[in-house]
Amino acid sequence: MKLIKNASLLILFVFAASSTVNAQKLKAFGSSIEKKVGPISKRVPYTDVVSYLGHAAPGTESEVKDGKKFYYIYLWIPAVAPELGLRMMSPAGKTKTKNPIIADGYEDNKDSKDYFDTYITLERSSVFTKDGIAGSASAAWTTLERNDDSGEMPKQPSGSSYNSLLRYKSKVGDPLKALTKGLYRIGFTTYKKGEVNGTFLAQVGSPVKLPGVVMSNTIEGLLEQMK
C-alpha cells in the first residue's frame, strides 16, 4: 500500500512539473487573418515578429497613472502597417526567440521565479519623424488598444491565464488611430494596484515586413539603437 501511495505521489509530482513547463510554452504569434485548414480555422502567423526580453523591478517604473505603476517600452515603427499585434508573457521562461532585444537587468534576473499579472497598452505618439524623437517628452499619446488576460496565451506558473495579447488594425480614415510611421510605446503594469516585479517577454508582430523596428525602455536607448 505504501509503495502504491509513493508511486501516486510521484505521478502527481511529474504531472505538476510537466504542467508548469507546458504552461510557459509560447506558440507562433497569429494575426487576425484566419485560414481554414480542413474543418479548423487557424490564425496566419505574423510575417515579422520583434522580441524584447526585460525585467521589471519595484522603484523603476516610468510613471504612476491612475494609481498604478506603469512601465514603458518605446517603439519606432519605420513604415505604415495594416496591423500590429502585441503580447506579453511573465515570467519570460525559456522560450527560444530569434535575435531578441535584451534590456538592461534581464541577464542578471533571468533565473528569477518572480512574475506579474500583465496588463498591456499600445499607444501612438504625435511624433512621426526621427528628428522629433529627442523632444518626445512633450508628445501627446493616444491609446490604441489594451488587454489584461488572454486565453490565447500560456498560463502563468500559478495556473491562471494572466498573460496578455492584443491585435490592432489600422484606422486609415482616422489620423489619430492610423498605424503610420512614427513613435509608439508599449505600456505595461499589473491589473491590481501594487508592485510590478519579474521577467517578461514582449513581442510585436506585423503581417508585413517592417525593417528597422527598434525597442527600448528609454528614449535615449531608442535613439542609440537608431544610429
Q: Residue 35: give its domain's CATH number.
A: 2.60.120.380
Tens of pLDDT, residue by residue over 171-200, are 998 988 999 999 999 999 998 888 999 999
In tens, the pLDDT along 61-94 reads 999 998 999 999 999 999 999 999 999 999 998 8
Q: Which residues pair with 170 in a beta bridge?
A: none
DSSP-derived secondary structure letter, 131: G
Number of structural domains (the chain) is 1
Evaluate whether 44 touches 167 at the Cβ level (below 8 Å). Answer: no
Nearest to 83 by CA among 128, 29, 46, 120: 46
Domain span at 96: 2-225
- The 10 Å Cβ neighbour count of residue 194 is 14
Q: Would the pTM of this model clear 0.85, i.e. be above it? A: yes
